[in-house]
Amino acid sequence: MTLVVESADEAVAGVSDGATVLVGGFGTAGQPMELIDALRRLGAKDLTVVSNNAGNGSQGLAALLAAGQVRRIVCSFPRQKDSYVFDELYRSKRIELEVVPQGNLAERLRAAGAGIGAFYCPTGVGTPLAEGKETRTIDGREYVLEFPIHGDVALIKAHQADTLGNLVYRKTARNFGPVMATAAKLTVAQVTSVSSPGSIDPEAVVTPGIFVDRVVACPSPAVLAEEGAAG
């Protein structure tokens, strides 16, 4: 059942120390700034964050990192032009980093949401990121065995919701939101507005409400990250 809550603070209430938090977004597009800020205010610490990037500038995810609440980050592309907060933490060994190819990050999250125990993936075969991982040759091609990434909480940003938690996204801000929504025990979505059931075309729903536990309206302007190489 989806709860529509009144504030971002209410939306992240109960996230505990040591939680694995899936954070949507590709750069700043789809990054749930208000929910991350609320998580920072909540003060939960020793967090593992799973997100494509490791923060941009000094806002949102970068601010959560700067507050020292994140012990470990799992992402595909931490290094960006404006990832100075992460860079400093990493170089001073105050944060652990696991780098995962972007498609594997997405597929491992999907596997978690879809009840798949593990899968054989061709990405990364023969590279340092597959070192130590089990491999298998299937029909003449080599694959690496990859395991699901489950979250305790997912914080995502969508465009609009109805009160049943059905979500639609906006353009490329969709990115990791729909898969993260399926992969966590508690999924929290910030949206620009919440409307009544029937206001979203059933054919166009991207995330059905079953995946969404809490929704909060946070009308917030999107912001641009600085360009970063290679995603």
The pair of three-digit structure tokens given for residue 6, joined into one six-digit string: 């009144």
- The answer to whether 78 and 54 have CB atoms below 8 angstroms apart is yes
| Count of all residues that appear for the chain in the document | 231
Whole-number minimum distance, CB 42 to other proteins, in Å?
Answer: 25
Q: Where are the alpha helices (DSSP H) in 2-69?
A: 8-12, 33-42, 61-66
> Would you say 159 or 214 has its CB closer to a second copy?
159
Question: Is 198 an interacting residue with respect to a second copy (CB under 8 A)?
Answer: no
> Would you say 42 or 205 has its CB closer to other proteins?
205
Task: Please identify which residue in 45, 79, 133, 170 interacts with a second copy, judged by CB under 8 A.
Answer: 170
Which stretch in 8-16, 35-43, 57-65, 114-122 sits in contact with other proteins by CB under 8 A? 114-122
Whole-number minimum distance, CB 36 to a second copy, in Å?
Answer: 25
CA 187 → CA 74, 78, 136, 165, 206, distances in Å? 18, 23, 34, 10, 15
Task: Please identify which residue in 4, 10, 125, 152 interacts with other proteins, judged by CB under 8 A.
Answer: 125
Question: Is 178 an interacting residue with respect to other proteins (CB under 8 A)?
Answer: yes
Whole-number minimum distance, CB 149 to other proteins, in Å?
Answer: 12
The angle subtended at Cα 180 by Cα 95 and Cα 31, nearest 5°, is 65
The pair of three-digit structure tokens given for residue 14, joined into one six-digit string: 């109960």
Structure-token match 């166009």, residue found:
204
Whole-number minimum distance, CB 111 to other proteins, in Å?
Answer: 9
CA proximity to 17, closest of 59, 71, 62, 63: 71
Q: How far is residue 140's CA from residue 37's CA, in Å, rounded to a whole number?
A: 48
* Single-letter code of the amino acid located at 53: N
Q: How far is residue 56's CA from residue 84's CA, in Å, rounded to a whole number?
A: 8
- Write the interaction track for other proteins spanning residues 56-95; mark x where CB under 8 A is met and - where it is not: --------------------xxxxx------x--xx----
Whole-number minimum distance, CB 23 to other proteins, in Å?
Answer: 13
> Taking CB under 8 A as the criterion, which residues in 119-148 touch a second copy?
119-122, 136, 138-139, 141, 143, 147
Residues paired with residue 208 on neighbouring β-strands, in sequence order: none
Q: How far is residue 5's CA from residue 35's CA, in Å, rounded to a whole number?
A: 12
Question: Is 166 an interacting residue with respect to other proteins (CB under 8 A)?
Answer: yes
Residue 117 interacts, among other proteins, a second copy, none and using kind-specific CB cut-offs from 5 to 8 Å, with a second copy
- Write the interaction track for a second copy spanning residues 150-169; mark x where CB under 8 A is met and - where it is not: ------------------xx
> Would you say 44 or 177 has its CB closer to other proteins?
177
